[in-house]
Structure 1
Amino acid sequence: MNAEGFITAQTTIGVAPLVPEIRLHLASEITPIWHASEEFLAQTGIEPPFWAFAWPGGQALARSILDAPERVRGRRVLDFAAGCGIAAIAAAQAGAAQVEAAEIDPMAVAAIRLNAVLNGVSVTALDRDVVGDPPRWDVILAGDVCYEAPMTAHILPWLRAMAAAGVEVWLADPGRAYLPREGLEPLSRHAVPTSLELEDRTLREVTIARLLPS
């Protein structure tokens, strides 16, 4: 079974609580897809199925974009560490001139492509680590990326360099431990319903902030 076949077999088409405008291939329960992914993982070396859920940061970014589409309309947008691609799809729906979604997990890349087709929008999925790329976007969307120290240390200097080059970098964070405490300009706040299967509470307060240059 290929990635697309696995995704369609293990998910149902649904919507995230905060963004009913966007349809996604989502896991209805965490345990069955996790077990199925572990079996598939043994065969293919894929990562756990983080792509099968609309995480709070991505939902908040998508909601913010759909509520104020002029912020991305006509602009070049990157959804960084895109997961299921919900923020990228919102940017495409809002009229962005070009939308790319970057992921290092090939299953997530496949999910992004399927979800973009499901919503009738054009999103280019990048199957690689874009950290280190030169600035070629107007806006970078980064949802829920500061959840581990190594990840934050890897991405934050590059994101700050993007900001220094004039790119708008939006961090959407639901209170993760490694979010930088300085150099952030708050833009909006969102209450995102979530599940106790994924989080330690049923509602996450997500702050979207613009990352400032060092």
Structure 2
Amino acid sequence: MSLAAPTATTNPAEGYSGFIGWVLNLMESLGEVGVGLAILLETFLPPIPSEAVLPVAGFLAYEGRMSFWIAWAAATAGALLGAWIWYVIGAALGRDRTRRLVGSTPLLDFEDFDKAETFFRRWGGVAVLLGRCVPLVRSFVSIPAGIERMPFLHFTAYTAIGSGIWNAIWIGMGFAFGPAIKPALEQWSGILSNVVLVILAILLGWFVIGRLRQIGKKNRESAPTGAM
């Protein structure tokens, strides 16, 4: 009787290098716990794209190497824990200290904080809920929630719902497409990351140039008029 050849398993980190490769190896080594740790790290290190990490968890679930639902729960728990930490940091800083910090930062002033505070007081729940689905924003939207002392249970609910939906989408994609997802991720994850960085650089440049023009205009208006 001939024995069937063992099925070869795929290394999810193959094709990736650096920190992302290390994170994917962590997921394969620790299973669902590694998924939660990867998303927790992403909360503090935004260059780790969850859009590249979560589909690999779905692919591993497709291969039977982890549970889809436990991976989803671990990812959501990791996002929630990271959000709680940022919330506590915001609450510890407090409104007055943060306002002074913003006002003393180059190219910023107290008016910027006041506008952001007004916006968050009006749209705080929506900002936390939808912010969980936006790169970079999901890492830091918890800070104004802590500063404004959003009710902790409300903050937790908004974060859990937003993160749960986001994680389900990307893990589900990895599970649904199976082996086809990995070549696509290798091809597009780097491109998407570069596009995001370019957009952020353009927005930052636009902000700096606009703010410098605004400061120059104020200086010209406040300068004494020369004698004719």
TM-score, length basis structure 2 = 0.28
Higher helix fraction: Structure 1 or Structure 2?
2
More strand by share: 1
TM-score, length-scaled by structure 1: 0.29
**Which is greater in Rg?**
2
